[in-house]
Structure 1
Amino acid sequence: MRSIEIDTIEDFDRCAARSRSMRGWQVQDLDLTGRTAVLGRLDPAGALFLGCRIPDNLEDRLRTGGALVFPAVPDVPFDAYRATLYTPEELYDGIDRGYDATPDARIYAWSVAANRHRPGGTTVHDSLAMALHDNAVDDALSEYVRGRRIVGVMGGHALERGEPAYDDAARLGAELAGAGYTVATGGGPGAMEAANLGAAVAGVADLDEALARVATVPSYRPSVTDWARAGLVAVGARSGMSLGVPTWFYGHEPPNPFCGAVAKYFRNAIREDILLHVCRAGLVFLPGAAGTVQEIFQAACGNYHAVEGEIAPMVLVGKEFWSERLQAWPLLSALAAGGPLASRLALVDSTDEVRAALGEELGRRAG
């Protein structure tokens, strides 16, 4: 049975106009209260409705006619069946009243309550809501990455706006986006937001201006509100070449406001795996701490077991940092020795060397 994903009302009307049956339809997160006549006419057998608003008098007919109908999940501050990725404006809606008023803050507060002080852990209702939400984000992200060449830029959250390393990371993001690549990060502050900022802004002069603007609020501490507002007004229209993949697991680190699209998850393990998986054009690791180290070796494990043509190049930036301070490079190079991964690893001193180090194929396509 052929599956047809329908997540806009225009797609629904287009399919309905040429069909007598909804078999194979997967209808997601649509308000169908104005489509009573159409729903009454079409054969519902084999259809799937996820979180749709359906007229009360038709819901029973759809079920008895062979459709699966999953209603909206009640008592949660998010749409468990959302059909699209988030935007910073959506997550930070209401920021003028303070961060606590935004959807991002309210969802994080809900997730903390859902995971604390419950005998036996999270309730089935809350676990199911989070799982449905993350599955919906998976689906939306798979549509977003289709046809894109994505380079991941990983790094620590402690880097502040205005620091030279922050500006370097932003210029790296701008260079990669200018070469036609979508820049993906963990979506948080620090080095991650710098790369997203660079990818979001078109033109050197515009980037310098944006860097100067955000530097007036260096950190999300003590005020997420001031930090987010400064970022939202600094970039204006985004280039669309910037993706963030954050998690409410690290909700104390707010999502940066520079991404063109945000795939935000509840489950950090899923989020980490997905983030590294979509970065098939390469991975860049700026100095960081535990999270960045985890990403280095999680990516290395996937590359170690990949066939040669599917190994994503990995570039570590900061020879002294990764060789001496946090000795990831000696272990990584020893692990790769003698295998195809060895030729896809590089250790460089500065972000100026990254694009060449990502490999001959990346340079040829972008040049």
Structure 2
Amino acid sequence: MLPTPHHTSHDREIESLAEFDEVVSAGGSLAGFRVQAVDLTGRTRDLLAVDTTDAVFLGCPMEPEAAARVRLSGALVFPPVPDLPLDPYRGRLYSPAELFASLDAGYESTPDARAYAWFRRTRADGDIFASAMRALHDDSVSDAFDELLVGARVVGVMGGHATARGTEAYAGAARLGRALARSGLTVATGGGPGAMEAANLGAYAAPFDDGMLDEALRVLAAVPSFTPSVTDWARAAFEVRGRWPSGGPSVGVPTWFYGHEPPNAFAAHIAKYFANATREDGLLARANAGVVFLPGAAGTVQEIFDNATPNYYGSRGEPTPMVLVDRAHWTERFPAWELLKSLARERAMESRIALVDDVDDAPQALKHLGG
């Protein structure tokens, strides 16, 4: 389960109007604070009165009089950036409702699709300003991601995007996500379709009785894939969310680098990045309770060894558990297991890896390895 996001006095960050009001009323000073993506156009009186020495305002709309005053007092002001499809200074992770807003008009109208179109356009023309905005955005997302996960035991679930709704593989990934969430772990996936969506769906289903997941799987099976229509695929997910609101939380970590793959709507918190390398390393690094690898192809093979490398060298401390699911897949089709065993031999990670035949055995294997 996810703890409530919080901010310490040490980081001195303000990311909502409520936090701004609390700080101003409590101490009457913003000196040294970082105010991130908060609309302050209605707080001119406060900004004219309080100490803002060494404060930093990141993308905070404010009246010209207030902006001039805080600059004169020694604050650093990064103004909002006009004409972008996203806020590079954002202080929170995305929600499905935010990324899929305007879905009724078609997926192409959503903020997610518009951000991908902007990324493709600006990447192609080499615009350094756009590149800087993407980097700033991704750093803001990482900051929000870390704040969300303070105190959480996070298990990563990796698997192929091609796993279709309506298949046993998809249902198995959903049962896995449900079992992990019910055991108190925070499920984190790559945030896309296929096995990733299924695991997030399972975590969403965790608070409900078992019949809910069976029925949800039947609803989703009517639209097996995001091709040819992302719109229909996403609408089916929101139909499930509408029938069973207030599901369990989980995290999705997708990327606009693979923007042809939409994010799924079952992760309550979506850390979406432009830089795929930042996204993949960040997800694996935060999986402090281990990672379960479902059958997949090149991307999942890469993730296995991206995770194995710090476990091998101990660069992140004690090795974290790794559970590979489907013996035939990982010993015959893509024989990653033998190489992983060879790497682990006589290393601290040797006792933290496992191969299971069935997805339903993965939660117990993870627990046995210390996840």
Q: Per the alignment, in what secondary structure is the counterpart of residue 109 of structure 1?
A: helix
Amino acid at match of 2:253: V
Task: State whether structure 2 residue 208 is matched by structure 1 residue 200.
Answer: no
Q: State the 1:93 CA deviation.
A: 0.8
Task: Work out whether residues 27 and 52 of structure 1, in 8 Å CA contact, stay in contact via their aligned partners in 2.
Answer: yes
Q: Distance in 2 between matches of 1:308 and 1:89?
A: 34
Task: State whether structure 2 residue 42 is matched by structure 1 residue 29.
Answer: no
Q: Per-residue displacement from partner, 1:333-359 (whole Å, max 9, x unpaired)?
A: 101100110100001111121112113
Query: Corresponding residue for 1:84?
Result: 92
Q: Per the alignment, in what secondary structure is the counterpart of residue 153 of structure 1?
A: strand
Choose the corresponding residue for 2:255, options 244, 247, 250: 247
Task: Work out whether residues 198 and 207 of structure 1, in 8 Å CA contact, stay in contact via their aligned partners in 2.
Answer: yes
Q: State the 1:126 CA deviation.
A: 0.1
Amino acid at match of 1:333: K
Task: State whether structure 2 residue 220 is matched by structure 1 residue 214.
Answer: yes
Task: State whether structure 2 residue 357 is matched by structure 1 residue 353.
Answer: no
**Unaligned regions of 5+ residues in structure 1, if any?**
none
Counterparts of 1:1-367 in structure 2, within 5 Å, are 2-116=10-124, 118=125, 122-201=126-205, 202-235=208-241, 236-306=244-314, 310-360=318-368, 362=370
Task: Work out whether residues 238 and 258 of structure 1, in 8 Å CA contact, stay in contact via their aligned partners in 2.
Answer: no
Q: State the 1:81 CA deviation.
A: 0.9
Q: Per the alignment, in what secondary structure is the counterpart of residue 311 of structure 1?
A: coil
Pair 1:45–1:308, CA change in 2 (3 A) = closer
Q: Per the alignment, in what secondary structure is the counterpart of residue 359 of structure 1?
A: helix
Q: Distance in 2 between matches of 1:70 and 1:317?
A: 47
Q: Per the alignment, in what secondary structure is the counterpart of residue 284 of structure 1?
A: strand
TM-score (norm 2): 0.94
TM-score (norm 1): 0.95
Between the two proteins, the alignment pairs up a number of residues equal to 359
Which portions of structure 1, spanning 4 or more consecutive aligned residues, are displaced by more than 6 angstroms? none
Q: Distance in 2 between matches of 1:262 and 1:3?
A: 22
Pair 1:76–1:326, CA change in 2 (3 A) = same
Task: Work out whether residues 238 and 260 of structure 1, in 8 Å CA contact, stay in contact via their aligned partners in 2.
Answer: no
Q: State the 1:362 CA deviation.
A: 4.8
Aligned-residue CA RMSD in angstroms? Answer: 1.5
Q: Distance in 2 between matches of 1:272 and 1:84?
A: 19
**Unaligned regions of 5+ residues in structure 2, if any?**
1-8
Pair 1:161–1:95, CA change in 2 (3 A) = same
Q: Per-residue displacement from partner, 1:8-64 (whole Å, max 9, x unpaired)?
A: 111111111132432221111111111111111112111010000111012122112
Q: State the 1:289 CA deviation.
A: 0.9
Q: Distance in 2 between matches of 1:278 and 1:253?
A: 23
Q: Per the alignment, in what secondary structure is the counterpart of residue 27 of structure 2?
A: coil
